[in-house]
A and B are shown apart, each in its own frame.
Chain A
Amino acid sequence: KNEVEQSPQNLTAQEGEFITINCSYSVGISALHWLQQHPGGGIVSLFMLSSGKKKHGRLIATINIQEKHSSLHITASHPRDSAVYICAVRSVYGGSQGNLIFGKGTKLSVKP
């Protein structure tokens, strides 16, 4: 079982729809990151969370430490939001302490 699981794997939405991407993890973490990756490979950090909720423009990220779950929401989605969204956690235990552990990503396509 992967230490970081994302759902859904693929998501197609119509412009304007509210979008939710989920991330569950099984390890102890010091922080959780939501990242955006456009075709071509570059990764942009959207949020870093250790508790609660953060908002930036149309993006909202929440984390529930007890349930080991985080969600990324996009309000009023737009075609330019089309990208792969990756959840990554920073482990606090064992040999992987300090490393980022990545989910496989959610590929979002927003149709006009």
Chain B
Amino acid sequence: EAGVVQSPRYKIIEKKQPVAFWCNPISGHNTLYWYRQNLGQGPELLIRYENEEAVDDSQLPKDRFSAERLKGVDSTLKIQPAELGDSAVYLCASSLGQVGTEAFFGQGTRLTVV
């Protein structure tokens, strides 16, 4: 079975342009996470979904970031407009639930804003 699939793997855009990332979690995983990882740092949570509901989006910069998880399966994360400081690796992860379940990560999307 495929793991968590993210696309694209790499993206280079000019500042002020929009960008979108896509994540397909492991089949049956109710919980989906989007993380941002800056160079040399650990991942930081942007948003967590339980099925189609965003249960924790407190760290999502809502002025320019948006996310959706239609039908509780695939998810997209969008930035509009992108800023230079948004350059990072954006990681998607999924798990069966919260407590006591293992999280599985995608390969990430490396975004470079120039």
A residues sitting closer than 8 Å to B (CB atoms) are: 4, 30-31, 33, 35, 40-45, 48, 50, 86, 88, 90, 92, 95-100, 102-105
Q: How many A-B residue pairs have CB under 8 A?
A: 73
Among B43, B44, B45, the one with the most A-chain Cβ atoms within 10 Å of its Cβ is B43
Among A40, A43, A105, the one with the most B-chain Cβ atoms within 10 Å of its Cβ is A43
Interface of B is mostly: strand
Inter-chain CA distance A92–B98, complex, in Å, is: 9
Name the contact of A99 in the complex, choosing from B41, B45, B89 (C-beta under 8 A).
B45
- Measured as residues with beta carbon below 8 angstroms from the partner, the interface class of chain B is 20 to 34
Contact A45 B107 (CB under 8 A): no
Inter-chain CA distance A21–B20, complex, in Å, is: 36
Contact A104 B105 (CB under 8 A): no
Residues in chain A near residue B44, CB distance under 8 A:
102
Min Cβ gap B103→A in Å is 6
Q: Given contacts A86-B42, A105-B42, is CB(A45)–CB(B106) below 8 Å?
A: no
